[in-house]
Amino acid sequence: MILFLPWYGSDGTSATVNAWQAFSVNDVILMFVALFAVGLWTVTVTQRTTAVPNAFASLTALFGILATILVVIRLLSAPGEGDVTREYGAWLGLAACIGIVFGAQRAMANEHTPTAAVTQIEVTPLPPPTPEGEGAS
C-alpha cells in the first residue's frame, strides 16, 4: 500500500509520483519483501515446528535489510532532475522496511512452539520394581 503513496514531488508544484512510477526494479523488490513479511506470519501460524518459520524469518530479515538499503539509497539520491522533494510515502517506506527487519529478527529470537501445537502425551506411571526374591514364589 505504501508503494502507491506519493514518494517524490517537484519543488514549486503539486505534482507527485509514487514508487511504482519512480522506480523500475526497486518497486518490485519492495513488493516482494512485503509479501515475504506477510508470508512469514502465515508460515509461523501454520507450522507445528519452529524450524520452517525460523528459516523463513532469516530470509525475510535478509530481504528486509536489502530493501532498507535500497530505500535509503533512493532517499539520498532522488530520481529526476532539479529540485526533487521527498514525500511522506518514502519515509513510511523506510519505516516499513525497518519494521520488517525488526519483526523478522524478533521472529528468529522466539523459538517457542505455540502451546496449541504441542501434543499432550498421557503418561501412566508404572509401579516401582520389586527387589529380587520378594514376591517371587
Tell me if 105 is assigned to some domain. yes
The candidate with the shortest Cα–Cα distance to 68, out of 39, 35, 106, 102, is 102
Q: Does residue 50 form part of some domain?
A: yes
Q: Is 28 a member of any domain?
A: yes
pLDDT band at 134 (very low <50, low <70, confident <90, very high): low
Closest CA relative to residue 60, chosen from 101, 1, 2, 112: 101
**Is residue 29 in some structural domain?**
yes
pTM for the structure as a whole = 0.71
Report the domain count for the chain. 1
Range of the domain at 39: 2-109
Residue 73 domain flag: yes
Say if residue 135 is exposed, middle or buried (CB neighbours under 10 Å; 0-12, 13-18, 19+). exposed
Asked if residue 136 has pLDDT above 70, the reply is no
Bridge partners (DSSP) listed for residue 86: 8
Read off φ and ψ for residue 6, nearest 5 degrees: -65, 125
Q: What is the pLDDT of residue 114?
A: 56
Query: Is 41 inside any structural domain?
Result: yes
* Predicted confidence (pLDDT) at residue 88 exceeds the cutoff of 90: no
